[in-house]
Amino acid sequence: MHLDDVSCLLEKLSGISDKEMEIKVAQALDYQPLALASAAAYVREVRQTSTLGWKEYLARLETGQRNATETFLVEVNPSCAKSMINATTLAVKTAMAFNEIIHHAFNFLSLCAPQSLSLNIIEDFITSVEEEIQDKEMIRLTIQRCSLLMLEREETGVYIRVHQVVHKCIKTVAADHSDDKHDEVVSGVIGSFSRFVQKYLPRHHRQLYSLINSRHVVPHLKNLATELKRYFSERVMSQVHQSGFSIKDHVKDLRGMSRLCYKHSECETSRHYINMAVNLSDVDEQDADLEVASIYFNLGKVQDKLGDLSQAKDYHHRALAIRLKKLGSEHVDVAASYGSLGSVHQNLGDLSQAKDYHHRALAIRLKKLGSEHVDFAASYGSLGSVHQNLGDLSQAKDYHHRALAIRLKKLGSEHVDFAASYGSLGSVHQNLGDLSQAKDYHHRALAIRLKKLGSEHVDFAASYGSLGSVHQNLGDLSQAKDYHHRALAIRLKKLGSEHAKDYHHRALAIRLKKLGSEHVDVAASYGSLGSVHQNLGDLSQAKDYHHRALAIRLKKLGSEHVDVAASYSSLGSVHQKLGDLSQAKDYLDRALAICFEKAWIRAC
């Protein structure tokens, strides 16, 4: 249905006119006419005795009450002999009973999200679980003829999508399996997703690293993680070990899915997969092998990205202990553990220990891999970041240029690691005051990350944030604000509000420890925290952080600096949202006056 038709239908049947909420309802119900009519009839009926509106209706959908909301349309409209869910459930049961291909396809989809999914993955599943069905052309034609499924053709292939109502019914019908049959489905789904993941995870550094082609599978891996948690929690682990599962193969599968989710910055999902791998391994730590060390190493990386630095450090130390025992002190995997511990200590603000670990990693890599290996470049990049935090910008720039040169030679100019070097050099040049060069480096990093990672990756957000800081220093407050808001929106979506706050709190803690409470970089952290809290609706806390930033900037930079104008502008925005328009106008006028004074009126 067209959105105008949706609005007309919902408004006429419900008696409520709210364009913004009508869009959300339409999206939640996949623009399906019968579902929309059922929703409107339900809301109209309930509103006779309560104040229920579309917001409350959507809340009930989220708690699984959809079936109950459809009864009113059935009662008031004799033509609706069955509710949409009942009718669709019957259609799903019939399709599964009379067609083996559809039966297997629906079993697979029952563990996935309703978003688009590559037809190739479903074909792989069907041919792997059913020996008598190996004709992929026949599979494709059968699925194409099924009225309950929709096929979408894109440049990267053919995708299946199901309406949310159909998806809900598929999950309900598929849940009636016996345990043995469900084991077979779960095992097959893990295997098919794993084979897809292996295809799109780079096997070595020379591969041009791109996440674009695997982006569509992430919602399904998130849903599958939830289903697997429920599946394993409902069964005694000894039963799982005695079933048809090949435990070691699935441990590797789960690790691979964890890695792909980690690459897409879906850290919570990544952690779920790696924790399941730990549980399935069932290995005593005293007898732990290198497989377990890899699991601990990956867990450490995930916890580091989630901001749980204490837990990250613990996991990396466990991985290091096993690797030292099994591989010796000069193995490249030991170097990897040293490098990860260096990153954790850097995030903790312990720069001396971080530098020590990175130098250990560098020494091993130089001896075992040579001076032009990409892992050696990674150590250079890490040491560059540590020296930048220590304020040794000359040494930092030197390390980052060394890393850049190796990555250009070994990986090419469009690799994400090459983009990381550009971003690091941009930050160093910004600290050196060379804003033109800094902006150029950050734009180069942004372009590569957009092409290789997509517009919703946190590394892409990092480039936005860096460009925001550069434009703020240039006095272009409007552009700076736009970049910072883009970065924050991505981080909130991918990492959650708590992680976004934690990210800036960690930066603040490091800066307070190393720079003191009145440094301009501390003011920058206060400003970032103010923006986060403003976006979360915590305006009182936002105002407090922006006032802290303003006080430092006034003291250290003077009353006519563009960073002071930025604080005034932020405070104006907060007071505007608080409804204090007089104070908002005063702050915004102060910001504008500084822009006039600095001849940057066009930028403001």
One-character DSSP codes across 462-514: HHHHHHHHHHHHHT-HHHHHHHHHHHHHHHHHHH-HHHHHHHHHHHHHHHHHH
Output the pLDDT for position 200: 72
CB atoms within 10 A of CB 163: 19
Q: Where are the domains of the chain?
A: 3-76, 78-176, 496-603
Mean pLDDT of 317-321: 94
Residue with tokens 């691979």: 256
Structure tokens at 56: 């409350």
Reading phi first (left if > 0) and then psi (alpha if -120 to 50, else beta), residue 391 is in left
Q: Say if residue 470's pLDDT is above 70.
A: yes
- 324-333, 482-491, 561-570: which has the highest mean pLDDT? 324-333
Output the pLDDT for position 533: 79
Q: Say if residue 236's pLDDT is above 90.
A: no
| CA pair distance 598, 604, nearest whole angstrom | 11
Q: Give per-residue burial for 333-371: e unless 16+ CB within 10 Å, then b.
A: bbbbbbbbbbbbbbbbbbbebbbbbbbbbbebbeeeeee
CATH class of 496-603: mainly alpha
CB atoms within 10 A of CB 418: 24
For residue 534, give every residue at least 6 positions away whose Cβ sits within 8 Å of its Cβ, in sequence order, or none. Answer: 542, 570, 573, 574, 577
Output the pLDDT for position 61: 76
Give 248 or 154, the one with higher predicted confidence: 154
Q: Say if residue 201's pLDDT is above 80.
A: no
Output the pLDDT for position 602: 36
| pLDDT band for position 600 (cuts 50, 70, 90) | very low
Output the pLDDT for position 440: 96
Q: What is the mean pLDDT of the chain?
A: 83
| pLDDT band for position 492 (cuts 50, 70, 90) | confident
Residues 250-260 pLDDT 10s: 888 888 899 88
Output the pLDDT for position 599: 44
Q: Is 157 helix (H, G, I), strand (E, B) or coil?
A: strand
Residues 87-111 pLDDT 10s: 788 889 999 999 999 999 999 999 9
Mean pLDDT of 576-588: 88
Output the pLDDT for position 375: 94
Mean pLDDT of 476-503: 74
Least confident of 29-38, 300-309, 323-332, 491-500: 491-500
Give 179 or 423, the one with higher predicted confidence: 423
Q: What angle do CA 492, 498, 502 make, to 5 degrees?
A: 100
Q: Say if residue 598's pLDDT is above 60.
A: no
| CA pair distance 351, 339, nearest whole angstrom | 13
Least confident of 51-55, 176-180, 417-421: 176-180
CB 426 within 8 A of CB 439: yes
Give 66 or 227, the one with higher predicted confidence: 227
Residue 72 vs residues 46, 76, 294, 479: alpha-carbon distances, Å: 9, 6, 55, 51
Output the pLDDT for position 282: 60
Note the CATH number of domain 78-176.
1.10.10
Give 469 or 317, the one with higher predicted confidence: 317
Output the pLDDT for position 601: 40
| pLDDT band for position 444 (cuts 50, 70, 90) | very high
Q: Say if residue 341's pLDDT is above 90.
A: yes
CB 55 within 8 A of CB 26: no
Q: Say if residue 81's pLDDT is above 50.
A: no
Output the pLDDT for position 96: 92
Give 245 or 380, the one with higher predicted confidence: 380
pTM attached to this predicted model? 0.68
